[in-house]
Amino acid sequence: MPLTKDITNSLRSKSVIHLTGSGTTTVYLANLAINANETITNASIATLITSSNNGAWVVKRGADTAGAGGYTVFELAGENYLPLTQSDISVSTNSSSNLVFTNSGTQGTLIMTLTKVASYTTPLADI
């Protein structure tokens, strides 16, 4: 089953990526913006939950859309829960680069929460 992708973005807050299936997909920083007013410049990994049948999830930053090159941030087999922010850890290696996800297994699920740094065309008023 090819990877299906669902991204939930919050304005001036976090983004959550939910993937199911197997294969490779790319998430660009622009995919993390809630609208055209928000321009994402960095996104750091805050939480990661994965499961994979007969394979592993590989998460890369700065790779091409096929997953070649770039920097491997995680390679996780089986079931994993990494609540990084609970230990004041934020994985920000190459945080200004796109994310490429590959599940080599027959089926799997990945849920990732990202904290974002962004600029805004229209700033907040009356703060």
93 belongs to a structural domain: yes
49 belongs to a structural domain: yes
The pTM score is 0.88
Domain that holds residue 35: 4-119
Residue 80 has pLDDT above 90, yes or no: yes
CATH of residue 110: 2.60.120
Total of domains in the chain: 1
**Mean of the per-residue pLDDT values of the chain:** 89
Measure the CA–CA gap between 103 and 107, rounded to whole angstroms: 8
Per-residue three-class SS string for 36-87 = CCEEEEEEEEEEEEEEEEEEEEEEEECCCCCCCCCEEEEEEEEEEEECHHHH
55 belongs to a structural domain: yes
Residue 126 has pLDDT above 90, yes or no: no
pLDDT at 124: 64
Kindly state the helix (H) or strand (E) to which residue 111 belongs, with its residue range: strand 107-120
Model pLDDT for residues 13-67, shown as the tens digit of each residue:
899 999 999 999 999 999 999 998 899 999 999 999 999 999 999 999 987 767 6
86 belongs to a structural domain: yes
Token pair of 45 as six digits = 């990994």
pLDDT at 127: 53
